[in-house]
Each structure stands twice: as C-alpha cells, then as structure tokens.
Amino acid sequence: AASLHRCQPGLLSRAVAEAGQVVLQAAPVVLGLAILEDAYDDTRRLVAVEPSKFFGDEKKLLEEARGYLPGLPTSEVDILVVDEIGKNFSGTGMDTNVIGRLRIQGSEEPASPRVKRIVALDVAPAAHGNAYGIGLADFTTRRLVDKMDRKAVYLNALTSTFVQRAMIPMTLPSHREALEAAIKSLGEVSPAKCRVIRIHNTLHLAEMLVSGPVLQEVSALPHIKVIGPEEEIHFSGDGSLLPF
C-alpha cells in the first residue's frame, strides 16, 4: 500500500492496475471472484472472471457496483450529523462517495453531494480507536477524540499520504455543543431553515433523520418512506443526542 501511494493521487488507479499485472505474472492466479454489494451492505451478485479478462471486466463491474452505492436523499445539505465513523464502515471512516469529500491535496472535490458542515459524534467500537477520516469532518466531540488510537490513525494517514484526513477538527464537549457550533458556523442560516440530515454511519443509510426543509423536498420521492412524525431534537442530561 505504501509503495502504491507514493505516486501522485491522480496516478493511483494506474499504479494499482500495474501492480495487479505484476501479481498476475508472479502468482498462479486461476480465477477471480467479483463480489458486488447492494446499498444495504448485502451481496447483490457474484461474478467469476478469468485472469485474462480481469482488466476489461473489472471496469464494467466497477461501473455496475457504483450504481448500487447508498447515498443521501438530497445533494444539498447544510449539516450532516454522523453518529459513528470507523474503518468497519469505510476505509476512510466515512465513505467519500456519501459525504462528497476527499480532502486529498491536489485532487478536486466531488461536485455532489454538497455538504457544508459535517459533525462526527463518535467512533464505532469495532474500529478499535482507528478514527482515520476524522479530518473529513468539521466538528467532532471530546468523546471521539479521547477514544482515538493515534498510532493507528497516523499510520493509516502516512501510508496513504492523505494527511488531511487525520487532522482533528473543532472539538466540542458534547453532541449538543457540536451541533450548535455547526449551526452557528453557517452564519445567517437560521436553525429552523437548516437542511440537516443525521445518519448512523455512511454504510447503513436505510434509515435517517432529516430536518423539515429536507423532508419537504424528499418526502414525495418514490423511494422514500416517512416512518415517523416530526418532533423536536432530544438530548440526554449530558448533552448527547438520543439514539434513533
């Protein structure tokens, strides 16, 4: 991984392909099995591929897989609240396709979705403290930062060379204060008009909480089902958001 990441980010896909050729020439590879997953993290399709067809078929299968990726219901978001980040959800802690951010020096950011502020609340237990990707957020909590295994995060960042993804964002004592800071940072946008989406993580997007302005936009979409009434945001005594 370190040797591949030494090249410029724009050349990484070429480097991976050339490394694959080296493997095929050096190892007795007899078959490849492509596993395509759907938006619910379940297996959608299995495809057996002969080594001679790897590079041609891989491109087609990758394009198909992209069509199954989960995503946010709207491309314009003021605040995205992510309950948990972690390597168990994505190699970058938060899936860059979902949040619309790369934070790779020299690389252009995706055109969509456009998320103004990201609040990362915690790191998943299964990540064992590896909060690599925390630098993709704008605000976080003391709880998350205290759980960080910095050795693991820094190793990940230095191996990939994408050091911005390991930078710790503005850190607040509680969920409430992190969310309030994110709202305040938007300037003249009033809380009632904020386009807010709250998700469990970037892998499991079947269920999410949205603010009124987002609900008005997406509730009529055929793939959206409103499963609960509108209600106020609730916090526990220590300022933590209640689970949903």
Which of the 8 DSSP states describes residue 164?
A: G
Instruction: State yes or no: cis peptide before 113, omega within 30 of 0.
Output: yes
* DSSP annotation of 235: B
Secondary structure letter of residue 81 according to DSSP: E
Phi-psi region of 86 (alpha: psi -120 to 50; beta: other; left: phi over 0): left
Cα separation, 99 vs 89, in Å, equals 13
C-beta separation of 118 from 99 below 8 A: yes
Q: Is 116 helix (H, G, I), strand (E, B) or coil?
A: strand
Distance CA 199, CA 229 (A): 17
CA angle, residues 6, 87, 173, in degrees to nearest 5: 110
Per-residue pLDDT of the chain (244 residues; tens, 9 = 90+): 888 888 888 888 899 989 999 999 999 999 999 999 999 999 999 999 999 999 999 999 999 999 999 999 999 999 999 999 999 999 999 999 999 999 999 899 999 999 999 999 999 999 999 999 999 999 999 999 999 999 999 999 999 999 999 999 999 999 999 999 999 999 989 999 999 999 999 999 999 999 999 999 999 999 999 999 999 999 999 999 999 9
Q: Could you give the C-alpha distances from 135 to 102, 169, 194, 207, in angstroms and in order?
A: 10, 6, 23, 25
pTM value is 0.92
Supply the pLDDT for residue 7. 87
Spell out a b/e string for 7-37, using b for 16 or more CB atoms within 10 Å of the CB, else e.
eeeeebeeeeeeeeeeeeeeeeeeebebeee
* Residue 100 and residue 109 in contact, taking contact as beta carbons nearer than 8 Å: yes
Q: Structure tokens of 191?
A: 């809380």
Q: Do 80 and 205 form a contact (C-beta atoms < 8 A)?
A: no
Element (H, E) at 123: strand 114-123
Question: What is d(CA 88, CA 218) in angstroms, rounded to the nearest whole number?
Answer: 29
Contact 143, 122 (CB under 8 A): yes
